[in-house]
Amino acid sequence: METLTSPVGQGGLFLIQFVIGMVIFTLMLRFLLRATYADWRNPIVQFIAKVTNPLCAPANKLVGTRGRWDWAAIITALVIQAIFVYGIGHLTQREFGVGFIAIASVTEIMNQLLDMMFWLIVIQAILSWVSTGYNPNTDIFNQMTQPILAPFQKVIPPMGGIDLSPIAAIVAIKLFQIVVVGSIAQMAQGMIG
């Protein structure tokens, strides 16, 4: 069996991390699409739904699907992330307790969600400068970011025709990620023996 320090072991670990990362990314995208009431007729949205439906089916039986919050996507992402963290502990021959696995999984999911919100806002801001006219594939970014930006737009009105709310939202997201999620992650690190 290859160790994780060998090139083959490192390559295998990278491949596992990439696949798990893509699965978590897709689940978080499903959550945000539902939370922001994105148009479910959009081909991108339909693709994400079809890809994630089999993964979310068991959790859907537990929590059902009501309203804008797709808890099945969050639960599925947390379970997959917890299995991944446990697997990394097993591969590195370290004993991770249940508390550490739970906190590490929650912080990773929170980081993924916040990173996704950050990049959606950046992409939407760039598209608003270069995109002309309606395009359903680019309009999805506006649909997803508008609910995130709305509270900031109430506080920071456009100045001279320029909307500064994306900058405030990005700063708030990153501050929350650094201070709150970072503090929780640091607490989890203290749990490793």
- pLDDT tens digits, 37-86: 888 888 888 999 999 999 999 998 888 777 788 999 999 999 999 999 99
pLDDT for the residue numbered 1: 44
Residue 48 CB coordination number (10 Å) = 21
Helix (H) or strand (E) holding 100: helix 98-130
Better-scored residue on pLDDT, 24 or 187: 24
Query: 3-state class of 159 per DSSP?
Result: strand
Mean pLDDT score, 128-138: 75
